[in-house]
A = this chain, B = another copy of it.
Amino acid sequence: MSEWVTAFAPASIGNVAVGFDMLGLALEGAGDRVLARRIDNERVTVAEVRGLDGELHPYLSTVAESNTASIAAQAFWDDHGDTGSVELKVHKGVPLQSGMGSSAASAVAAVVAANGLLDTPVSVEALLPYALEGEKFASGGLHADNVAPSLFGGLVLCPQVLLPSVVHLPAPSGVSAALIHPDLQVNTAHARRGLAKSYSTRLWLEQQGLLAGFVAACHAGDIDLVARTLRDVIIEPQRKDNVPCFDVVKSAAERGGALGCSLSGSGPSIFALCRTSDARNIASAMEQACRSQGIGCESWVSPMNAPGARIEAA
């Protein structure tokens, strides 16, 4: 048996308001760690899953077929592993069902750690499909908007139609993300089933125009255009009632000068993009607004070019 290799993968903001299922942003300051070592076994195994408190996790499974980390690592090892298999320890740093890409962070950290066991690791780009395998188990679909930013960092455009390729978008200079995680849980697969099955031409053209404008704004570093385009007219209206504090938190962000504010993934986390100089104050205002509704929360502030997953020194 070899030494443990530790990989860290950050939390992420899915959808980023304008890009349902196809736009994601890495979030600095929260993430999962997965430790991997070689074992003389036929299949990937999970030795332990620990929670934020460091204790053994009360819900997440160590059954390899039911754990996003081991599913991802198994898919990777099937294609690239040499001999034996891999044992994992999963240390969750991203709260579950938070809308912060918790399952994606575990899947990404697992493949990065397993890759770190190889004498000749594959490129980071080649890891994406394996991390997606783990995420597919958790979310029920092939959506890369958490896996891709967690793996690569920064702001990533990753529509299904282009996978396994993704498009890295430049982060507009002077913009940061603020995120609060209200102490509520939303099940991603359940939230997805609640969405309408079709939309009017008018509505999807409006959303498509906002996304295209946002992509151009990021490339041009046009903060005013970021503010005019960072809106979700399709998904947010259908999901926001799952998050009782959403309206007051969004109002607080907007009063504080946020460029835009929406659910992170399917919630309950709520993010805002802000001028970097406003970001701390906006995060505080969002947190206060949430607590004013009797709901506890945590907050993070992150640059838009937060780094992606990496091996940590032993």
Known interface pairs A197-B201, A199-B201, A199-B204. Does A209 touch B169 (Cβ–Cβ under 8 Å)? no
Contact assessment for A162 and B229 in the assembled complex, using a CB-CB cutoff below 8 Å: yes
What are the residues of chain B within 8 A of A200 when measuring CB–CB? 197-198
Q: Interface with B: A15-23, A29-37, A115-123, A262-270, which one? A: A15-23
Contact assessment for A208 and B157 in the assembled complex, using a CB-CB cutoff below 8 Å: no
What are the residues of chain B within 8 A of A229 when measuring CB–CB? 162
What are the residues of chain B within 8 A of A228 when measuring CB–CB? 162, 165
Measured CA separation A201–B196 after assembly (Å): 8
Measured CA separation A166–B169 after assembly (Å): 20
What are the residues of chain B within 8 A of A23 when measuring CB–CB? 212
Measured CA separation A204–B233 after assembly (Å): 14
**Taking the complex as formed, is A103 at the interface, i.e. its CB lies under 8 A from any CB of chain B?**
no
Name the distance in Å between A110's Cβ and chain B's nearest Cβ.
27
**Taking the complex as formed, is A195 at the interface, i.e. its CB lies under 8 A from any CB of chain B?**
yes
Q: What are the interface flags for A199-241 relative to B under an 8 Å C-beta threshold, 1 for contact and 0 otherwise?
A: 1110011111111110111011000010011000000000000
Q: Which of A83-130 contact B (CB under 8 A)?
A: none
Contact assessment for A209 and B162 in the assembled complex, using a CB-CB cutoff below 8 Å: yes
Measured CA separation A195–B208 after assembly (Å): 18
- Contact with A211, one of B195, B196, B206, B212 (Cβ below 8 angstroms): B212
What are 20 pairs between A and B in contact, CB < 8 Å?
A22-B205, A157-B213, A159-B210, A159-B212, A159-B213, A160-B205, A160-B206, A161-B205, A161-B206, A162-B213, A167-B225, A169-B216, A197-B201, A198-B199, A198-B200, A198-B201, A199-B201, A199-B204, A204-B204, A212-B212
